[in-house]
Amino acid sequence: MPAVFCAASAISLGSRWLYDTLAAGNSEALLDYRRLAPQAVRNHPSEEHFLPLLVAAGAGLTPQGRRLHTSNSYGSLMMDAYAFD
């Protein structure tokens, strides 16, 4: 039987990985997210929606991200917002 893909599960895993990675200030893992984050390539087939997060993290005073908001739209889009104080 073929594996069944669950978008909600994939985005939830990716969102949790991102939260943990940013909370730890692990910028090296963040830069290698396409290899390290669960379902990264499926969740971000092209990078233009993820790269602004890297710019914000680099511009912040610390690589640690503080999540300001999290929500899910349409069962397949995470709408997380982070601050880099």
pLDDT, tens digit (0-9, with 9 covering 90-100), for 9-45: 767 888 999 999 999 999 999 999 999 999 899 888 8
Q: Residue 33's pLDDT is what?
A: 95
Q: Residue 59's pLDDT is what?
A: 94
Question: What separation in angstroms does the CA of 69 have from each of 32, 41, 80?
Answer: 24, 23, 5
Whether 27 is covered by a domain: the verdict is: yes
Whether 16 is covered by a domain: the verdict is: yes
Query: Distance between CA 33 and CA 41 in Å, rounded?
Result: 9
- Residue 40's domain comprises 7-83
Whether 21 is covered by a domain: the verdict is: yes
Whether 47 is covered by a domain: the verdict is: yes
Whether 39 is covered by a domain: the verdict is: yes
Q: Does position 51 have pLDDT exceeding 80, yes or no? A: yes
Whether 41 is covered by a domain: the verdict is: yes
Residue 83 in tokens? 């601050």
Query: How many folded domains does the chain comprise?
Result: 1
